Amino acid sequence: MPRIIADLLAVLAVAAVIVGCTTYKLWTESAADSELGIVQLSYEYGKYESPQVDERAGVSMARERCQEWGFPDAQRKGEDRQCIDGMKTDCSRWKVLREYQCLGDKKK
């Protein structure tokens, strides 16, 4: 009986690794338009990863870029996830794109 329990625990441990590992991702600026006041941030992750991102860091990055352009603030506008390696039904690499809109009147 103890052998069965040990085997079961080993199988569960392997399954937990295969199902997905939490990975911490950093936002990077992927596009920006000062005239439209739009900042696009992104990160990529693999098929078996369970990505975690710092939401406050994303807002902070967008806000800093907007302030460099003369806008006082930024707000999340939208998000998209694109398959960049494979097909949506069996994608091995994803890219998450998040767009922020600069807010307020642009200072000259």
d(Cα 80, Cα 22) in Å, to the nearest integer? 20
pLDDT in tens, 21-72: 889 999 999 999 999 999 999 999 999 999 999 999 999 999 999 999 999 9
pLDDT in tens, 65-100: 999 999 999 999 999 999 999 998 999 999 999 999
Residues with Cβ < 8 Å from 105, sequence gap 6 or more? 71, 72
d(Cα 108, Cα 71) in Å, to the nearest integer? 9
Give the number of other CB atoms < 10 A from CB of residue 22. Answer: 8
Q: Residue 94 to residues 20, 22, 35, 56: CA-CA distances in angstroms? A: 14, 15, 29, 21
pTM of the model: 0.77
